Amino acid sequence: MKPIDLKPESFQAYPPEARKLATDYLAALQTLPLSFLPSLLREVIDYDYKFPAERKALEGELANMRSLSAVNTPGLPQNAGHREWLGGFEQITLSPHLENLDWLNQPALYVEQLSSHLWTTHQQDAFRAAAMDYATRLRAAVPPEAPATPRLGIAVIGQGVDAYEGHLFRKLRPHGVYFNRIQPENGLPQLLAAVAARAKAHPAPYAHWYIDGGQPAEHDSAITCVSYGGLEAARNALLGKIGADTKQPGMGPEALRTHMAQLLPADLGRKSTDETLDRFQIRLLTEGSGTQIFSTSFTQWAAREALRRAQPLTMLVRFAPRQRQKPMSELLSAASAQTPVELDPLGSLVDGDMGAYYNWLNQQRLPGADRSSFLVWFEGHNTAVAIAPSLSTGTGSTTAGDLSQLLKWMA
């Protein structure tokens, strides 16, 4: 099948809302080159399970694509604007094998094999240039919306560490104020209360998050919560599948990755009450590196993906102690056997310190970054760094106060 041959009934295997979306924009989809269309369909087929921010971005892209399909610039042939946007993709040559794949119903698999084809035919640079040009044009044509209120990111690091003589927050201090007299009592409940208050003041689905690298603390139901501890059963089920798959003949890393990417919550024993969130959580385990066995890796990847996909207004990320580094064979066997693990609080503190910096960087990539705020706190201790438009940069403060007061100073 070629894109021009698409019909409304072509999308019968798609989930209901995705099927309607594809049908509504069918005329635009029919005009797209096969080197580009499956990448777009990979997003469309998951539409029913996407976060609101993702849905809005995809709808904007499709609407823009439909307008391009009808462009008629004076003095130029019909659809000249369309070719200007997608001409680079039209120059990509595809193999008969790719053209015969089921790109309509398995777009993710097609994109994976397309990547391999581009590398082996030395077309990766041309494809990347076309993709970057398209992305630049799309950002200009469909600019992202500013957030309803300035974003607030919070990172809590160092759980279980009694003392640390090293230099924390080295990467973040130049961007904010270093506080060394924070009152740590009831710190986490205060932070969670602040997240809950923002959730009530600006209610929206998946707009306020709490990610915990261990067992989550008590929190308001208005907050979207993801935790490493809460996914223990799913993690063990996945590790069991990995162990079984790697024993099968011909199951190399690429085949294993493909198989993992196709897993659904039910495959790992999850009974979904929120399929959007459950699919997000399973993807953290099947697409992330080390997220199945290291809590700090899970926490960092979860924060990155939540910021990228859901674009929350508020996100509190709490790093918990991970298991101590050992040979991978031992880590996998211990995890799958559910044996007790040896924790490494100090190593996890270092991980969390760098993870907090990455969280801030990822938050800065979102719309409204110039108005956003960020707080990192050494849990149970009196040190923190606050970054906000209202605060100076690269300075220190000996002002005493608790974390709720610090958040007010940042406002």
Residue 77: per-residue pLDDT: 46
Residue 315: per-residue pLDDT: 98
What residue segments make up the domains of the chain, in order of their start?
3-141, 152-410
Q: Which stretches of the chain drop beneath a pLDDT of 50? A: 72-78
Encoded tokens for 251:
């199951």
Tell me if 8 sits within 8 A of 39, measured CB to CB: no
Beta-strand ranges (E) seen in 197-328 are 208-212, 224-227, 314-318
Tell me if 214 sits within 8 A of 227, measured CB to CB: yes
pTM of the model: 0.92
Residue 244: per-residue pLDDT: 79
Tell me if 306 sits within 8 A of 211, measured CB to CB: yes
Nearest C-alpha neighbor of 384 from the set 168, 205, 232: 168
Encoded tokens for 261:
């990417």
Residue 78: per-residue pLDDT: 47
Provide the 10 A C-beta neighbour count for residue 286.
22
Q: Which residues contact 16 (CB under 8 A, 6 or more apart)?
A: 48
